[in-house]
Amino acid sequence: MPNDVRGPAGGSRPVRPAGTGRADTGPFVSRRAPGTRRTRGAGLSVDQRGRRNKWGLTFLVTLLVFVVVRLVVVQGVDGAAYAAEAEQDRLRNYTVAALRGQVLDRDGNPLAYTVDASRVVADPSIVKDPRRAALALTTLLDVPVPELTERLSRDGRYVVLAARVPPETADAVEELGLAGIILEDDPERLYPAGAVGGQIVGFVGREGEGLAGVERTFEDQLSGTDGRRIVEVGSGGHPIPSGIDEVTEATDGHDVTLTIDQDLQFVTDQRLGEACADGHTSQASAVVLDVKTAEVVAMGSCPGYDPGKYSETDPDLLGNPVVSDVFEPGSVMKAVTLAAAVEEGKATPDRVLSVNGHIDAGDRVVTDAHDHAPVDWTVTGILAKSSNVGTIMLAREIGDAKLEEYLRAFGVGRTTGIELPGESRGILEDSADWTESRAANVPIGQGVSVTTLQMASIYQALANGGVRVEPRIVRSVTTPGGRVTPTPEPKSTRVVSRSTADALAHMLEAVVGPGGTAPLAQIEGFRVAGKTGTAQRANPETGSYAGGGYITTFVGFAPADDPQYVVAVDLERPTSSAEGGQVAAPVFADLMRAALTGDGVVPSGTARPEFDLTG
């Protein structure tokens, strides 16, 4: 072996003896007294130098053995693991997005659907020339060159360049063949009807999850299940033609079919918008129910919003006031009080009461709309004239506990179970806690709060022969394979007898007739039954009724002789003292007329009866 230096006993190369005047390597010469010896290297002896060389040789041999063993381990024992790791580094795991199911109206018209789109992303570590790539992409993605260049120059391995890119643009990006530029599924949710029914349908967030309305309630059914794609890519981030390409297909979401009629919904939203534009109405809400099934045919509030532009909308407007906002309904609640009186045998439509213009209620005095001398009114007249005093007189004959029982049976103080998020139960205190003034206010619709949907549900029961059906807004759910699953039948509860319901229908028709408070609710050719309401509005600035204006309402059904639809309307009017019969009744008439004619309901074949309002 080269450089192997050994002593005389080891043979090999001899060591030059000392005293010859030079060393083996170089000009360094030992100048010592006779009889001494010296070799190169800090005065080491030949034996010392030999030992040092032996240790060096041993180290080199050991190092060589270690390297060989390590190579054997790496290439043999760990070879498969390293190969697998290298392969994993080339694999890319992509989400195959499921297409979200459609939301359809009752006739199959789409209110929400999803289209294919892509997200353009980049791996900046692979992009060699960010500015050049930005110049190639700027026109296609409609993103400025400086912004793209900055994103492509970032540290890290993932950056989004553009979202919801249409298929034709995605194809053009792919054709560029830019290293490090990747396409991912990014479906786009569209709402073709815009703001029509927007509060019902709701919207999805940036991550595609339902955040409001039906989109939220039916998130699990609509969303589907994403798939996966594993692709082996080369140095540029593009798939290797002969490499791994494994796909687990996505399962698309189910379609949800609503009970909504898109045409009637359009009319409803438009009419409510007109109401909100009158200079006094800050909010208007309405709901149309099918009497027999309690299906919601239309539902809306003003102001509404376009689900496709929810991010541009005031967050306070992104709910659904028809099911979430509560208000004191006023005199529309008198129908419940009188229904309880008739059912309990305390009243008949023709019973006559002497009604004063005011009545004591604990520490307060309740009056009719205008104080008056005693008048002999029939129970029908009390309802038609909307007498507070006459209603309170009948309520006292029923008793607080019994009245509360009927209110709750009609759905006051509890949710309806509608398939929409954020539903309020309303406000109804236990009768045991009512003060004398509260006991006088509740029968006339003050001191109790309801939603617009609850108000409509009360009149659905009266129009349906006394049977209350829990309202529904979803008809069915359809799988991607076409299997249709109808929603469960809603719960039905008899609240009052048919004879009581018929008696109330007769009295409510008098409200719209001559001498009643709502002649503006009449519809030519159809008999109409309903009730006005004008309740004080709580002023949020003072915490009292002072300066709060009024909530005006009208709820009714038609045709009165064969009820098909219930329409409930409420208008919040902070700066007006107009009554429900003046402003809410005309909105009711327009919506009911659209519902009846749109469904081809034949005009009433019987004449409106005569009504005895006074004794």
Residues that are catalytic: 331
| CA–CA distance, 94 with 231 (Å, rounded to integer) | 8
* Contact criterion met (CB below 8 Å) for 228 and 96: yes
DSSP codes of every residue in 527-563: --EEEEEEEEPPBTTTTBSTT--EEEEEEEEESTTS-
* Contact criterion met (CB below 8 Å) for 267 and 241: no
Q: Which residues of 492-528 are buried (b: 16+ CB within 10 A; e: fewer)?
A: eeebbeeebbbbbbbbbbbbbbeebbbebbbbeebbb
Residue 468: which H helix or E strand, with range? strand 467-469
User: How does DSSP classify residue 41?
Assistant: T
514 Cβ contact partners less than 8 Å away, ≥ 6 residues apart: 611
Question: What is the bridge-based pairing of β-strands 484-486 and 227-232?
Answer: unpaired
Please report, for residues 134, 181, 217, 362, 363, the alpha-carbon distance to residue 439 in angstroms, rounded to integers and kept in the order given: 73, 71, 38, 9, 12
| CA–CA distance, 148 with 130 (Å, rounded to integer) | 8
Structure tokens of 421?
């998020």
DSSP codes of every residue in 176-244: H--TTEEEEE--EEE-TTTTTTHHHH--B-TTS-B-SHHHHHTHHHHH-B-EEEEEEB-TTSPBPTTS-
| CA–CA distance, 454 with 584 (Å, rounded to integer) | 17
The one-letter amino acid at 280: H
CA angle 301, 223, 170 (to 5 degrees): 100
User: How does DSSP classify residue 74?
Assistant: I
Torsion of CA 462, 466, 470, 473, to 10 degrees: -50
| CA–CA distance, 188 with 117 (Å, rounded to integer) | 6
3-state secondary structure 297-337: EEEEEECCCCHHHHHHCCHHHCCCHHHHCCECCHHHHHHHH
Radius of gyration of the chain (CA): 43
286 Cβ contact partners less than 8 Å away, ≥ 6 residues apart: 268, 271, 272, 298, 299, 300, 301, 322, 452, 567, 568, 569, 570, 587, 591
Torsion of CA 387, 390, 395, 398, to 10 degrees: -140
Question: What is the bridge-based pairing of β-strands 492-494 and 227-232?
Answer: unpaired
* Contact criterion met (CB below 8 Å) for 379 and 354: no
